[in-house]
Amino acid sequence: MSTSKLTLGQWSKILDFLKEETNVYVKSERDCKRFIEGVLWMSRSGAPWRMLPAEYGKWYSVYRRFARWSEQGVWEKMHLYFSKEPDMEHLIIDSTTVRAHPCAAGAPHKKGDSSRRLWEEAEAASARRCM
């Protein structure tokens, strides 16, 4: 799992956004950065809030602030703000190929199964003949 720590460049961009946002009051930049890193840790780990490491603050305080920002639409605005100029540093392109039967891909069906045709021809050749 990648680290939840923000680089100085990342943090400065987030801080610029937060200072422009009317619903957010940044009292202490250090505490705000710690809060954001805690939210990143939660989103990357998928752990319950109670499992938040103490280095990010008290879990309930972080949760309440996260919920308040969610209600005020701060996360959505932040997403829109940063999606205008995406950072392509960690972009991953993935592909999967699944072979399908030719019939599934739209190929015409064969008129008859060749093994079945051979069997029918052999059966016809060896049929009883009445005299």
Q: Is the pLDDT of residue 1 over 50?
A: no
Per-residue pLDDT, 86: 73
In the chain, how many domains are there? Answer: 1
Whether 120 is in a domain gets the answer: no
Each residue's pLDDT tens digit, 58-92: 999 999 999 999 999 999 999 999 888 777 776 67
Tokens matching residue 70: 């969610």
**Domain enclosing residue 49, as ranges:** 8-83
> What is the pTM assigned to this prediction?
0.63
Per-residue pLDDT, 22: 83
Whether 117 is in a domain gets the answer: no
DSSP secondary structure of 75-106: HHHHHHHHHSS---TT-----------GGGGT
The overall average pLDDT reported for the chain is: 83
Whether 59 is in a domain gets the answer: yes
